[in-house]
Amino acid sequence: MWRNYGASADSFYQVRPECADDVPETKFRIKVGKTLSSRRWHAAFTPEGYLDIGKILSRVCRGVRESIHQLEVKFGSSYWVVMIQRAHLRNESNYDNVGGILLSLLSKVHYAALKEECRVMFPLIGSGRFISAPVITEDGDPILDPIVLQELNAAKEPTSVGQVGPSDGFELVKEHDKKVIQWKLSLHQIGLDVIRTDRTLVFYEKQENLSKLWDILAVYAWFDKEVSYCQGMSDLCSPMIILLDDEADAFWCFERMMKRLVHNFTRTACV
């Protein structure tokens, strides 16, 4: 996992050169014997490709408390749980565990279905674009903000990343479903925070990564209507999409983490 012993953990996330002065360097350094190395990690797998969780957990418990703490600070408390579970799932699906494969497929299908539901409600979902201006009033009337219209029109152009069809026009009709209104009200707030999340990282110089973060948070807001979106969630979701290439994986890891942190984000908790 770690390439450079003695290097700062920050070296794994490329910071934009012009922001180098603004980013404080972490005190956490990768130490031989104290940090879980890629060699140790790979050695924990059986020849059949199964992860010996006991072996790795005892290693984790014995010597790397500090590392975990530091990783938790950076990535949230579910980091190891998620990584280990993912490794386990991957092993199972690589070999003969049909259940594992199905589970993995199901999670992807489930995410795709959720995302499609959202795209039908608001065609910018999955289009590679996103908005940071309100699209709806609390009464359900659509808002014709020039910034929103510009993004919507751009998304419809054939050169755009997404597949917004001609039937998916942004219809300017009053929305009556309270759940849909609530969800649409969250979209611009997510956009406003996406453009302010980890902006010192090279990763977010790519528009596609910004819209990926927006997509996942928007889908989550629909998936968990009680929590919806609350400021702070973008910072927690960000490491997931940096670490995991697959958007569905990133979503479910974020969802799992939110299960443990949800009490921080309910409507009565922000007091």
Partner 1 sequence: MGAYRADDDYDYLFKVVLIGDSGVGKSNLLSRFSRNEFSLESKSTIGVEFATRSIHVEDKVVKAQIWDTAGQERYRAITSAYYRGAVGALLVYDVTRHVTFENVERWLKELRDHTDSNIVIMLVGNKADLRHLRAVSTEDAKAFAEKESTFFMETSALESMNVENAFTEVLTQIYRVVSKKALEAGDDPAALPKGQTINVGSKDDVSAVKKVGCCSS
Residue ranges in contact with partner 1 by CB under 8 A = 19, 22, 132-134, 143, 145, 147, 189, 192-193, 196-197, 199-200, 230-232, 234-235, 267-268, 270-271
Nearest approach, Cβ of 66 to partner 1 (angstroms)?
25
In our burial notation (b when 16+ CB lie closer than 10 A, e otherwise), range 75-84 reads: bbebbbebbb
Nearest approach, Cβ of 139 to partner 1 (angstroms)?
14
Spatial separation of the C-alpha atoms in residues 71 and 175, rounded to whole Å: 43
Per DSSP, what are the bridge partners of residue 29? 8
9 vs 190, which CB is nearer to partner 1? 190
Nearest approach, Cβ of 254 to partner 1 (angstroms)?
17
Spatial separation of the C-alpha atoms in residues 14 and 258, rounded to whole Å: 26
Query: Angle at CA 246, nearest 5°, toward 239 and 212?
Result: 65
Diameter over CA atoms, the chain: 62
The Cα-based distances of 101 to 14, 17, 94, 214 in angstroms read: 33, 42, 8, 28
Per DSSP, what are the bridge partners of residue 45? 51
127 vs 132, which CB is nearer to partner 1? 132
Structure-token pair, residue 26? 């972490």
The answer to whether 88 and 153 have CB atoms below 8 angstroms apart is no
52 vs 235, which CB is nearer to partner 1? 235
159 vs 268, which CB is nearer to partner 1? 268
Residue with tokens 């940090």: 35
25 vs 235, which CB is nearer to partner 1? 235
Nearest approach, Cβ of 226 to partner 1 (angstroms)?
12
Nearest approach, Cβ of 71 to partner 1 (angstroms)?
20
Closest CA to 155 of 200, 195, 108, 214: 214
Spatial separation of the C-alpha atoms in residues 87 and 106, rounded to whole Å: 17
26 vs 231, which CB is nearer to partner 1? 231
Nearest approach, Cβ of 200 to partner 1 (angstroms)?
5
Nearest approach, Cβ of 125 to partner 1 (angstroms)?
21
Which residue type, as a one-letter code, is found at position 34?
K
67 vs 211, which CB is nearer to partner 1? 211
